[in-house]
Amino acid sequence: MDLDVIVFVTALSHGITFGLRYDSGVLFSIASFWIPFLGQIVYAWLRQTTGSLVFPILAFSLSNLAVLLFPYLVS
């Protein structure tokens, strides 16, 4: 199987997992889908182009830090 297909399917499943929620029924949030989906694509691209796990781990850590600091930066 082609690596690009594997990355896409993995990113799709990751996005769906974050996009789905249950609150008196199954709901799907497109915003909660897109951010993890695109993040997975970027992290996989970093891994493929650099050949190292260091840069995807740094990118993931920086994105988590940005999400945590965002409320403080806009207020």
Q: Is the pLDDT of residue 24 over 90?
A: no
* 34-69 pLDDT tens trace: 999 999 999 999 999 999 999 999 999 999 999 899
Domain boundaries, the chain: 3-74
CA angle 33, 8, 35 (to 5 degrees): 25
* Predicted local distance difference test score (pLDDT) of residue 41: 96
Q: Identify whether the C-beta of residue 37 lies closer than 8 Å to the C-beta of residue 7.
A: no
Task: Determine whether 51 is exposed, middle or buried from the number of CB atoms within 10 Å of its CB (0-12, 13-18, 19+).
Answer: exposed
Say which DSSP state 22 is in. E
* Predicted local distance difference test score (pLDDT) of residue 23: 86
Q: Is the pLDDT of residue 1 over 80?
A: no
